[in-house]
Amino acid sequence: MRKTKVAVSTALAASALLLAAAPACAADDVPVTPAGKEALAILKEAIETPTVAGRGQVPKLAASLKARLVASGFAEGDVTFTPLGETGYFTARYPGRDRKAKPLVVIAHMDVVEAKPSDWERDPFKAIIENGYVFGRGARDNKGDLSMIVAAVMELKRAGWVPGRDIVIGFSGDEETRMATTKAMADALSNAALVLNGDSGGGELDTGGKPFVYSIQAGEKTYADYTLSLTDPGGHSSRPGATNPIAAMGAAADKIWTYKFPVQLSPLTKAYLEGSAKVAPADVAPAMRAFAADPGDAAAAATLSARREYVGVIRTTCVPTMIKGGHAPNALPQSVEANINCRIFPGTTRASVQATLAGVIGDPAIKIAFKDNGTLESIESPLRPDVLAAVEKAVHERAPGLAPGLAIVPGMSAGATDSMHFRAKGIPAFGVSASFMRAEDSFSHGLNERLPLATLDPGVKQWESLLKSLAK
């Protein structure tokens, strides 16, 4: 997932603390259920298949997943891999009673970002179990939920369960890069009634390992990179003139860094802020309520903007992330380039953001170009009551009889996930990861990525419940 998560979450504190995701523990005796053990076996194999761009390992992982699904009862012809370059996408169809009904599509991604072994405490491409976690690249993003999804449908298939409509499992092979396989997969599954994504949303544990919130992703910001470029005749450094591309680009980058885009509020972010305010820290909860009631409240906006976890919830953000220029230590620079990374509020166009950047810079000599990386302009999915109810039921069923008053809080990711390609086709998509994590254990894209072993048993159960509720 090419993103950081905008803080999404919250529920009724008292009930949420009863949620059934067991805390991370030091024991290696979890998972204990057959399906949970199977999820762990799939996860281990997936981690040890380095599906990094350029290594050509995605087809190998897809072949292993197909073998497992066919062995559990899936028809050979219902499980396919569609190559696209050195990668591709994987689909598995679970036939339902009504073959004419639009299918329920469940997605995740097989690829992972690169990892430098010398920087890790453990080999990133070896699944290592220690202290109640499984370590390895992709453990959280996104092979953990991928493994739980596969284990869940295998369990349902062996039990003889038949859904009311077809369920299609779809795993992309380049979500972390250009999403070409995602686009192709979304085109192939454009008749989907609904999409559930294992690559966003999910539960959070407090520092003591107790669950306190579950969020469902119903939208994401548009990911966009813009290249700023500036050229100059240059010359000898002993004879500086009136212009210097490095200095000019530095000034432009500083203007962008300090600029604040106008605040925005959508039905999704309003629901998030209202829900989150119930258990948010006392120094920020009133601002959440005030902004949700009136986005023109400047004091509330200032409070939220001062917190890194909330600034992205209320506006588009653009920041300089890379700069390069010059060709010799004793020569005036002839060219400079800078990268500006933007996370754009849903409903705002990339063209309008580019125009805003040009106005902020105020230097016509600096050229601005959008860098196409396969992402799309984002829209939000409507907050469907049936999906919210199914997610709440599934989370409850992680621990029967507990958390009777849990509220599911919708949220927005900073972008980008595979869901965007389905939302662009008008298909509702929701991030409903079954992973429960402590904030300090979330190392997606980072060093020592890990997943609590204790999330596997209830996670498989959660996926089974979701499928039964939404594909009936």
Residues 128-153: tens digit of each pLDDT:
999 999 999 999 999 999 999 999 99
Cα angle: 110, vertex 200, 24; to 5 degrees = 90
Neighbours of 213 (CB within 10 A): 28
Say how far apart CA 458 and CA 26 lie, in whole Å.
18
Q: Which residue has the tokens 């490095």?
A: 246
Decide if 350 contacts 341 (C-beta within 8 A): no
> What's the CA gap between 226 and 249, in Å, rounded?
14
* Structure confidence at residue 25 (pLDDT): 43
Give CA torsion, residues 36, 463, 135, 447, to 10 deg.
180
Rounded CA separation 1/315 (Å): 21
Per-residue pLDDT, 364: 96
- Secondary element (H or E) of residue 331: strand 331-332
User: What is the structure's pLDDT at 9?
Assistant: 35
Kindly give the parts of the chain with pLDDT less than 70.
1-29, 209-211, 399-407, 440-445
Q: pLDDT tens for residues 324-358?
A: 999 999 999 999 999 999 999 999 999 999 999 99
365: which 2 tokens? Answer: 């000599």
- Please tell me the predicted confidence (pLDDT) of residue 396: 82
β-pair type (331-332, 167-172): unpaired
Taking alpha carbons only, the member of 18, 34, 10 closest to residue 398 is 18
Say if residues 28 and 128 touch (Cβ distance below 8 Å): no
Q: Using omega within 30 degrees of 0 as the cis cutoff, is the peptide bond preceding 416 cis? A: yes
Provide the token pair at 128.
Answer: 């290592």
- pLDDT in the model for residue 5: 40
pTM confidence score: 0.86
- Which residues partner with 412 through β-bridges? 219
Domains and CATH numbers, the chain: 13-220+378-470 (3.40.630.10), 222-256+316-374 (3.30.70.360), 262-315 (no CATH)
> CA–CA separation, 289 vs 270, rounded Å?
9
**Tokens, residue 457:** 């048993």
Rg (CA), the chain: 23
CA 430/CA 426 separation, integer angstroms? 13
Alpha helices for 294-432 (secondary structure H): 298-305, 308-314, 350-361, 385-396, 419-423
Whether the CB-CB separation of 212 and 124 falls below 8 Å is answered with no
